[in-house]
Amino acid sequence: MILVDLNKVNQNTSSNTSQLPEEIYGRMKVLQSKLSSIDRSIKQYLLITFNYWNFTITDGALRMLVVLYFHQLGYTPLEVAALFLFYEFFGVVTNLTGGWLGARLGLNRTMNIGLAMQVIALGMLTVPATMLSVPWVMAAQALSGIAKDLNKMSAKSSIKMLVKDGAQGKLYKWIAILTGSKNALKGLGFFIGGLLLALVGFKYAMVIMAAVLTAVLLLSLKMLDSNIGKAKAKPKFTELFSKSGPINILSAARMFLFGARDVWFVIALPIYLGSTFGWNSEEVGGFLALWVIGYGFVQGIAPRITGQNSGGRAAMLWAAGLAIVTTFVAYGVQTGWHPQPVIIIGLLIFGGLFAVNSSLHSYLIVAYAREDGVSMDVGFYYMANAMGRLIGTILSGWLFEMSGLVLCLWVSAGFIAAASVISLWLPKEHHAPK
């Protein structure tokens, strides 16, 4: 009887085992059917967003790691700023030429090239600490800057190709979600950077991030549409500079807007929080991470705040509001009136208003851009964005070393006021040229 029962058990087990692959196969077929029913544009949007998310986390972590690690090594604020000089400078060059490359080669290639270059840049920083000289780190940062702006230009230009003409509300919504989620994850990257520095050190943080991005690159090479963004007529190199008045005006406003953010946020603020308030690297990274995550959340819901058909007048008014808030923060810190609460609360309000400004700009450039060769116009615009970051980064280290955070804040307020005035010349309507 025991033998018989054992045989029955074996038969039942064998039967269940043979049925298991069939059940798994059936479920996989159902999942595949559901995935195949998703619209192609949505699948490509999700893949582009996934690429952009992963890249952004490593970019935020890398920036925080470099700022904190080299400040711990005794570098002055200006020397730390110098490490980002090539990162920002080559961002200017990349956005200008990257749009041209995207129009000729396709945005899938420029996105994948950006992922590959970031892997190489992270690998360069895995060398022993004795080899981390200023020129070597600047060279790695140059590669990272090229990679970041290739990836960003490719992601935002691609969305123009995935949204049908006339669907301005949908375009604004998709751009806002991509931009907002990117900045939220950049904030997460700040936190991860500070955490990795404390847990595994600078070198192994680079190794971990390079391994993750390599896996993302392999997925992108396999699944990203090869025809996204390739212009029907191959643009000439002489067509790099925008001939559109609205795009030139918006680009000038963008330059001042992002210069205003980075003049106090990039170098001055992290060092100030550590040296003046006594925060450690995890606290600095964690606070800035929460700030950027909240900033990204507001960007994602910006269409609900401004309205989905917002134009140049909205860009001017939101910039004016941001300039007023920055002026109050600068005055509060200068007079010494509870500087820590003023900076923390002021930074939160600044982040919310800046997020709306940034998201609105990101939508307007894609709305203004030509459909054929969209990356040319978007690349030119982000060239101005990178120029603002370059100016802000250099000034952040120089002004902070010369006169402290107060001067950085006053310059920031002046830059935002300039962005608001420039925005007066933006058109109220936002019809894209063909």
Q: Tens of pLDDT along 280-311? A: 877 887 888 788 888 888 888 888 888 766 78
pLDDT, position 261: 93
pLDDT, position 3: 45
Residue 220, pLDDT above cutoff 70 = yes
Average pLDDT for residues 265-285, to the nearest whole number?
Answer: 84
pLDDT, position 224: 75
pTM metric for this prediction: 0.70
With vertex at residue 152, the alpha carbon angle to CA 238 and CA 313, rounded to the nearest 5 degrees, is 80
Instruction: Provide the terminal-to-terminal Cα distance of the chain, rounded to the nearest Å.
Output: 84
pLDDT, position 366: 77
Residue 27, pLDDT above cutoff 60 = no
pLDDT, position 285: 76
Residue 203, pLDDT above cutoff 80 = yes
Average pLDDT for residues 241-256, to the nearest whole number?
Answer: 84
Average pLDDT for residues 261-280, to the nearest whole number?
Answer: 86
Residue 412, pLDDT above cutoff 70 = yes
Tokens matching residue 235: 């643009």
pLDDT, position 434: 45
Average pLDDT for residues 249-258, to the nearest whole number?
Answer: 94
pLDDT, position 416: 97
Average pLDDT for residues 96-117, to the nearest whole number?
Answer: 78
Give the best-scoring range by mean pLDDT among 91-105, 270-284, 338-352: 338-352
Residue 240, pLDDT above cutoff 60 = no
Average pLDDT for residues 103-127, to the nearest whole number?
Answer: 86
Q: Name the least confident of 18-27, 106-115, 295-304, 407-416.
A: 18-27
Residue 232, pLDDT above cutoff 60 = no
Confidence band of 50 (pLDDT split at 50, 70, 90)? confident
Q: Name the least confident of 12-16, 145-149, 364-368.
A: 12-16
More confident residue, 135 or 32: 135
Helix H, strand E, coil C: the string for the chain is: CHHHHHHHHHHHHHHHHHHHHHHHHHHHHHHHHHHHHCCHHHHHHHHHHHHHHHHHHHHHHHHHHHHHHHHHCCCCHHHHHHHCHHHHHHHHHHHHHHHHHHHHHCHHHHHHHHHHHHHHHHHHCCCCHHHCCHHHHHHHHHHHHHHHHHHHHHHHHHHHHHCCCCCHHHHHHHHHHHHHHHHHHHHHHHHHHHHHHHHCHHHHHHHHHHHHHHHHHHHHHHHCCCCCCCCCCCCCHHHCCCCCHHHHHHHHHHHHHHHHHHHHHCCHHHHHHHHCCCCCHHHHHHHHHHHHHHHHHHHHCHHHHHCCCCCHHHHHHHHHHHHHHHHHHHHHHHHCCCHHHHHHHHHHHHHHHHHHHHHHHHHHHHHHCCCCCHHHHHHHHHHHHHHHHHHHHHHHHHHHHHHCHHHHHHHHHHHHHHHHHHHHHCCCCCCCCC
Residue 325, pLDDT above cutoff 90 = yes
Q: Name the least confident of 9-18, 38-47, 226-235, 386-395.
A: 9-18
Average pLDDT for residues 145-150, to the nearest whole number?
Answer: 86
The amino acid occupying position 76 is T
pLDDT, position 375: 62
